[in-house]
A and B are shown apart, each in its own frame.
Chain A
Amino acid sequence: MDNAAGPEDTREKQGEQMPPFTVRDCVLVALATGHRAQNLRELRNGLLAIDLESIYYHFWARLLRPRFDEPEYNNDFAAWAHRALDEKALAERLSVVNPADFPNLEALRQELVEIIEDRLDESPYVPWTQADKQFYFISSQIVIFDTGVQAASPRELATFLPIISPGSIYYHFIDAHRRSPEHVDDFSAWLSGCGERYDLLKTKIQSVDPYFSSLWELRRIIAAYFAEYFSGVQ
């Protein structure tokens, strides 16, 4: 499928020996958990009671739901602490929690609970909000399916990236961190097998902060890095 001719052919040889990149897609199925919180103590109790999938949702799967593209915080707990409880310091502390720093979701849960308990200890009252601004814990399933699209080379993948769905970006760029033993995105992992010449591209992709962009924006950024790389390849 990649018809590029010339010196790059040689460089691409090694890449062509890699299995093709199979583009998959996913859709989110959001489920109510029945847990909700109107004050900070209830949020702490909810965090202790809910399935870990709900914590995953409020950090990551939230990217697949309708949202406006100017997120201030990297998770729903921080956003709620700010918008509903007016707890700006707590929101800041919660927003720097990076799931990648924790070995699993249980450890992430404990960190969130500790941050909240610290705030409960230092606050003279339990921060609360109005009944119509409660926090609703949501859980999710993802349905994964094949798109029928395969890229035989990084150059070919670059042509598909601008048009793949936001669900594909979620699956290969966000969900991959949880799936892969190395906790990296699928694009970087695949490029690693295509040869050292893609190291710079790989590094750029791994440097993308996924928290503050919509999936559409992430697609644009990743596609732009691929395009930029190949525009410089003679």
Chain B
Amino acid sequence: MLEQYAAVAGTEEVDRLRQLARPLRGVKVVHVNSTREGGGVAEILQKLIPLKQALGIDASWEVITGDLPFYQCTKGFHNALQGNTVSISETMLEGYEQANARFAEEHRALLEEADFVYIHDPQPAALLKFCPNRKGKWIWRCHIDVHHPYRRIWKYLRNFVALYDASVFSLADFAQAMPHPQYLIPPSIDPLSEKNIQLPEEEIHEVGRRFGLDPSLPLVIQVSRFDRFKDPLGVIEAYRIARKLTPLQLVLAGGEASDDPEGEAVLEEVRQATADDPGIHLLLLPADAHRTINALQRAADIILQKSIREGFGLTVTEGMWKGKPVIGGDTGGIRLQVVNHHTGFLVRTPEGAALRIRYLLHRRDLLEVMGRRAHLFVRENFLITRLLREHLSLMISLRNGTGQRIEVGL
């Protein structure tokens, strides 16, 4: 498996991983999140676990599940961490803790015996409280843009999270006052996944035909869940402003993650906004339509990700990997990837997005240059091999304490 990555990320990168993993061979690592399919976290874990195993680490992945109130509660957490004022009843909080207690009971041996436990996002964050005899280091990995959380909910969650040995955030902006080390690790994409591998031209054209896209018109696309923080209505507005002067078509492609009960309401708003506009293609895709999304991104001229809040924005990374400039919201992890005027543009309004769409479609030469830069930037910084490397160094760091320099096997 590692050899396949050497072809994309370089042999030397894979050699580095092997060297770095040497002192970690045989350690037991457990990851826990709340969904196997849908969303960036699940996609990362689908590859990160086998890669860790290939390096000799005893890695496993468990998924916490619950009833509808559990998901409503954790969706409330998600929104609150992103800054929304959210009301969550005591009953829902009790349900949340019960789901965590139940999961801890069912997986006690695995969790308490593990050398490292990665808990992803708030859904399983209370697990640590229910594992009093844990032996290993517990790490809370927050994938959410939490730079301005709704304090009341954060105060509740912090009671659980502060007990961890470390936390990990995608950006320094998201770090919080906590009594443990806070590591900064941006996420990544898998260049060999169905969503990112190179595709034959004919397959890209076929997908375009299947969805009725007009090959003679420029195509802009936003791929994301139907979530208000992704601002799909703002994208539609930007398209309408730009179209007045530049002929184009828009694809809004998304699905629903199994842990997102709000998606249907947002989707309905989008349906109403797009009705009767033949230039907008609203595509509801199943969670496993990775290859289709790949083809759509490759068919596009410009990738949009006009989020209002964004933990990182893996769809931005995916678009850049395909050599496309990205017009993204000036927020969160998008800023780490979209370097204004170099790999795309950062915008704050639909008007700003429309202006940049027109500009790039008019200046095809710059569109091409930015796309090439974007691809290179991702290759050097945001592939899963880099994430894996940082996971390995995080574990080495936690084992070796807070010294500024840690020497391994020298």
Partners in one complex: yes
Q: How far is the CB of B118 from chain A (nearest CB, A)?
A: 16
B385-403, CB under 8 A of A: which get 1 and which 0? Answer: 0000110111011000011
Give complex CA distance A134, B171 in Å. 12
Q: Given known contacts A141-B397, A146-B409, is B336 in contact with A66 (CB within 8 Å)?
A: yes
Q: Is the CB of B182 within 8 A of A142?
A: no
Q: Is the CB of A32 within 8 A of B408?
A: no
Q: Given known contacts A141-B406, A142-B406, A143-B20, is B183 in contact with A30 (CB within 8 Å)?
A: yes
A211 within 8 A of B: no
Interface residues of A in 119-175 (CB under 8 A from B): 132, 134, 136, 138, 140-148, 163-165, 167
Q: Is the CB of B19 within 8 A of A25?
A: yes
Chain A residue with the shortest CB-CB distance to B406: A143
Q: How far is the CB of B8 from chain A (nearest CB, A)?
A: 15
Chain B residue with the shortest CB-CB distance to A164: B12
Q: Is the CB of B380 within 8 A of A216?
A: yes
Q: Given known contacts A32-B184, A164-B12, is B172 in contact with A145 (CB within 8 Å)?
A: no
Give complex CA distance A27, B388 in Å. 12
Interface residues of A in 39-66 (CB under 8 A from B): 53, 66
B157-189, CB under 8 A of A: which get 1 and which 0? Answer: 000000000000100110101000111111000
Which chain A residues border B91 with CB–CB below 8 Å?
none
Which chain A residues border B343 with CB–CB below 8 Å?
68
| Most B Cβ at <10 Å: residue of A31, A140, A214 | A31
Q: How far is the CB of B79 from chain A (nearest CB, A)?
A: 19
Q: Is the CB of A136 within 8 A of B183?
A: no
Interface residues of A in 202-234 (CB under 8 A from B): 214, 216
Q: How far is the CB of A69 from chain B (nearest CB, A)?
A: 8
Which of A29, A70, A140, A165 is in CB contact (< 8 Å) with B12? A165
B13 within 8 A of A: yes
Q: Given known contacts A144-B408, A167-B16, is B183 in contact with A31 (CB within 8 Å)?
A: yes
- Main SS class of interface, A: strand
Q: Is the CB of B16 within 8 A of A32?
A: no
Give complex CA distance A25, B403 in Å. 18
Q: How far is the CB of B190 from chain A (nearest CB, A)?
A: 17
Which of B13, B183, B184, B397 is in CB contact (< 8 Å) with A165? B13
Q: How far is the CB of A108 from chain B (nearest CB, A)?
A: 16
Interface size class of A (residues with CB under 8 A): 20 to 34
Which chain A residues border B381 with CB–CB below 8 Å?
66-67
Q: How far is the CB of A139 from chain B (nearest CB, A)?
A: 8
Q: Is the CB of A31 within 8 A of B404?
A: no
Which of A27, A148, A163 is in CB contact (< 8 Å) with B389? A27
Q: Given known contacts A25-B16, A143-B396, is B408 in contact with A134 (CB within 8 Å)?
A: no
Give complex CA distance A138, B175 in Å. 11
Which chain A residues border B339 with CB–CB below 8 Å?
68
Q: Given known contacts A29-B394, A30-B184, is B336 in contact with A141 (CB within 8 Å)?
A: no
Q: Is the CB of B19 within 8 A of A144?
A: no
A34 within 8 A of B: yes
Which chain B residues border A30 with CB–CB below 8 Å?
172, 183-185
B377 within 8 A of A: yes
B342 within 8 A of A: yes
Which chain B residues border A67 with CB–CB below 8 Å?
381
Q: Is the CB of A27 within 8 A of B13?
A: no
Which of A27, A68, A70 is in CB contact (< 8 Å) with B390? A27
Give complex CA distance A142, B339 in Å. 26
B210 within 8 A of A: no
Give complex CA distance A159, B183 in Å. 36
Chain B residue with the shortest CB-CB distance to A30: B184
Which chain A residues border B396 with CB–CB below 8 Å?
143
Give complex CA distance A82, B407 in Å. 37
Q: Is the CB of A143 within 8 A of B183?
A: no
Q: How far is the CB of A36 from chain B (nearest CB, A)?
A: 8
Give complex CA distance A59, B377 in Å. 21
B264 within 8 A of A: no
Q: Given known contacts A27-B20, A53-B404, A141-B403, is B15 in contact with A147 (CB within 8 Å)?
A: yes
Q: Given known contacts A138-B172, A141-B404, is B16 in contact with A66 (CB within 8 Å)?
A: no
9 contacts between A and B (CB under 8 A): A27-B389, A32-B182, A70-B342, A142-B406, A143-B397, A143-B406, A144-B410, A145-B22, A167-B16
Leading 3 A-B pairs by shortest Cβ distance: A32-B175, A136-B172, A66-B381
Q: Given A140-B404, A165-B13, 9 more contacts at CB 8 Å?
A: A27-B390, A30-B185, A32-B175, A32-B184, A67-B381, A132-B147, A143-B396, A146-B409, A148-B15
